[in-house]
Chain A
Amino acid sequence: MDEELISDWFDAYSEDIYKFLVYYMSTPDVEDLVQEVFIKAIDRYDSFKGDSSPKTWLISIARNLAIDEARKRKRQDWRKLIKTYDYKTETSPEEKQLANETKQQLHQAIAKLKQDYRDVVILRGIEELSVAETANILKWPDTKVRVTFHRALKALKGKVKEGYHESQ
């Protein structure tokens, strides 16, 4: 893989990869993982068949790295993660606090989901990738993506409720 191509890919997709890893690891401290994703892409470029877009290929590498990393250590940092959200200037402090609480509850609920559900919620729900792109990353058939997303939303609602009751 030549330097020009990886440089172009980095310019085009590093922010997408960063955001995906932030959702996946529940912390904004994932810069080291972003670099690792691109280094892995260079090392494994021979296995990139070109039948998927570079973005979905890079996200699938990022996902594998994130799974490994999450096994090694828990690095969730909700407070730091919530701080990454910007609000319109006219939003009142009370509204901001309420929105932040909702976001934190959702993030915590997503982190509690089982692997398949978490994958599909992040890719389809937050990243808004298409069914085909999600299927490509997860190496699932399209129908499995649709069904699992539906089930994952149901499970997520349950987790959010649980979290809400626990916090009361």
Chain B
Amino acid sequence: MNLNDDELQKELKDLKTSASLDPQKKESMKMAIIKHAKKKRKRSKLKQSAIWLSTAAALLICGVLVTNIINNNQSVLPTEEHDTSEYNESTSEKAQEPADNSDDTAETFEDSQVPEELSVTEQATETQTIMNEGMAEDVTVTNYTIEPYGIRYQMGAFLGNYTTEDQTVRHYSDADNAWITIEVMEDAKLNDVVSETQSEYSGDFNYTEEPTATSEDENPYQGIRQHFSDPPQGYYAYQIGENVLVIQYEYVIEAGDGMGPRLQALRESIE
């Protein structure tokens, strides 16, 4: 068969098949899709309600706390100014109590030492070769250190955006369709952290991997990993001294090319 461009294009057009979906199957597929859409809408409504409720609860708690603080501050003044007044004696006694309470509160804040806040320092970049779908690809990676723990890792430019919040640093792509969070759990045991992390993945996944020990070839730390889909997501947890490092990831399939090798490079870079 020897074809020129026009003939070949004509032959390609002729490849249009007349095959079509079986009407019965099509109808049942449509039903299943509509059912899924209903379920999804219900779930997102529930999620939204939960967000609204938790926001309202948080606001309420803040309101109560602010009111208490204002009340406490105001109630101190009359006791100081009118402590000799017979009329205010009982009031001042009562007022003394909240004033004492506020001291207690201050002590409580001092006593409960929050862990030193996590921060990330960005260091030099370097070029690294990763294997993406069997093809060697040069990527620029940046070295990061999580302080005060001194945990070092590398992250590719694809996930070069990052924010830190509490004990977590979140790296994400420009389109925010792929992200990795790295969290340090202080004085924690790997198994406790894994069971807690696992409970975050209680969704309706069509693939759930069993928790598996991480490879010792990647880094020297004892760890557990688990992968779910769709969308692809999961975690790696490593016992690093007395702390546990938890890496969680999620990405849409469109952004997924190269995420596997990128995650592997990240795991291998942990020191």
* Interface residues, chain A, with chain B CB atoms under 8 Å away: 1-3, 6-7, 10-11, 14-15, 18-19, 22-23, 28, 31, 34-35, 38-40, 42-44, 47, 60, 64-65, 68, 81, 84-86, 99, 102-103, 105-107, 121, 125-128, 153, 156-157, 160-161, 164
Query: Cβ of A68: which chain B residues have Cβ within 8 Å of it?
Result: 253
Contact with A7, one of B21, B30, B252 (Cβ below 8 angstroms): B30
Distance from A99 Cβ to chain B, minimum over Cβ atoms (Å): 8
Q: Across the interface, do B32 and A105 meet the contact criterion of CB distance under 8 Å?
A: no
Q: Across the interface, do A10 and B30 meet the contact criterion of CB distance under 8 Å?
A: yes
Contact with A6, one of B2, B15, B16, B34 (Cβ below 8 angstroms): B34
Q: Across the interface, do A14 and B26 meet the contact criterion of CB distance under 8 Å?
A: yes
Residue B106 interfacial (CB < 8 Å): no
Q: Across the interface, do B12 and A161 meet the contact criterion of CB distance under 8 Å?
A: no
Chain A-chain B contacts (Cβ-Cβ < 8 Å), number: 110
Query: Cβ of B25: which chain A residues have Cβ within 8 Å of it?
Result: 31
Distance from B178 Cβ to chain A, minimum over Cβ atoms (Å): 12
Q: Across the interface, do A107 and B37 meet the contact criterion of CB distance under 8 Å?
A: no
Q: Across the interface, do A156 and B33 meet the contact criterion of CB distance under 8 Å?
A: no
A161 to B40 alpha-carbon distance, docked (Å): 50
A84 to B11 alpha-carbon distance, docked (Å): 16
Q: Across the interface, do A102 and B18 meet the contact criterion of CB distance under 8 Å?
A: no
Q: Across the interface, do B13 and A64 meet the contact criterion of CB distance under 8 Å?
A: no
A107 to B252 alpha-carbon distance, docked (Å): 30
Distance from A46 Cβ to chain B, minimum over Cβ atoms (Å): 9
Interface of chain B, main secondary structure: helix
The closest CB in chain B to the CB of A125 belongs to B12
Q: Across the interface, do B13 and A128 meet the contact criterion of CB distance under 8 Å?
A: yes
Q: Across the interface, do A153 and B15 meet the contact criterion of CB distance under 8 Å?
A: no
Q: Across the interface, do A47 and B16 meet the contact criterion of CB distance under 8 Å?
A: no
Interface size class on chain B is 35 or more
The closest CB in chain A to the CB of B40 belongs to A42
Contact with B40, one of A1, A11, A65 (Cβ below 8 angstroms): A1
14 additional contacts (CB under 8 A) given A125-B9, A160-B1: A1-B41, A6-B34, A11-B30, A14-B26, A22-B17, A35-B33, A42-B40, A60-B254, A84-B17, A86-B18, A105-B1, A107-B15, A161-B1, A161-B2
Contact with A125, one of B13, B26, B253 (Cβ below 8 angstroms): B13
Query: Cβ of A2: which chain B residues have Cβ within 8 Å of it?
Result: 37, 41
Q: Across the interface, do A3 and B37 meet the contact criterion of CB distance under 8 Å?
A: yes
Q: A31-B25, A42-B37 are in contact. Are A47 and B13 (CB under 8 A)?
A: no
Residue B20 interfacial (CB < 8 Å): yes
A-B CB proximity, top 8 nearest? A84-B19, A125-B12, A84-B17, A86-B18, A3-B37, A38-B33, A35-B29, A3-B34
Q: Which B residues from 18 to 58 make CB contacts under 8 A with A?
A: 18-22, 25-26, 29-30, 32-34, 36-38, 40-41
Query: Cβ of A6: which chain B residues have Cβ within 8 Å of it?
Result: 33-34, 37
A96 to B41 alpha-carbon distance, docked (Å): 50
Query: Cβ of A107: which chain B residues have Cβ within 8 Å of it?
Result: 15
